[in-house]
Amino acid sequence: MRFLVAIVALIVCVSAQNSRTKCTYTAETLSLVCKSPGGDVGCEAIAEFPLNFKIVGLGFDSKSADPQAVRLFGFKEGQTAWTHHTLNGNQMTMSTTATSGIRIRNQECLDKLMLLFKASSPSLDVPVDNAGVREKLSLFGESHLIRFLKIIK
């Protein structure tokens, strides 16, 4: 199983090149730092997910009227497809009001992230498991979720 997670991580890294957004959320500092072709942005944030995901794919929701509708698609060890953004009736999103996903602490920082995200291209097509139904989705980026940092002396 670890091999499969390593392969998925490698695919994400190789395909990420310069046209995608790469973020890292660190629980200890409650921060989300993202880099894309549009620059770098760091925000205070809180991540809350229904499952212990290691990587979260970032994608826009073309069906939403909200221009800042960023959907989060989780991936963890043992999975063969990314988890749909609606899980157990909860929408995993990135916003200032997210109850499941990544909640950005202020609107100004979210606006900067949106500019960054829109400078990325949805260049990674991934399988998504939507309640047992497989579908394809294009992601413009991903965020690695670091729960606790291990200090090696």
Burial (CB < 10 A; 0-12, 13-18, 19+), residue 143, is buried
**Comparing C-alpha atoms, which of 35, 29, 32 is closest to residue 141?**
35
Half-sphere exposure of 121 (CA within 13 A, CB side): 6
pLDDT of residue 44: 96
Q: Report the alpha-carbon distance of residue 108 to residue 16 in Å, rounded.
A: 26
Q: Report the alpha-carbon distance of residue 133 to residue 112 in Å, rounded.
A: 34
- What average pLDDT does this structure show over 90-111? 90
Provide the whole-model pTM: 0.78
In contact, 145 and 54? CB cutoff 8 Å: yes
**Residue 90 pLDDT greater than 80, yes or no:** no
Half-sphere exposure of 55 (CA within 13 A, CB side): 21
pLDDT of residue 153: 46
Pairing verdict, β 101-104 and 124-130: unpaired
In contact, 71 and 91? CB cutoff 8 Å: yes
In which band, very low, low, confident or very high, does the pLDDT at 16 lie, cut at 50, 70 and 90?
very low
Question: Mean pLDDT: which of 40-49, 63-72, 112-121, 136-145 is highest?
Answer: 40-49
CATH 2.40.440 fits 2-146, yes or no: yes
**Residue 13 pLDDT greater than 90, yes or no:** no
In contact, 53 and 74? CB cutoff 8 Å: yes
Q: Report the alpha-carbon distance of residue 56 to residue 74 in Å, rounded.
A: 4
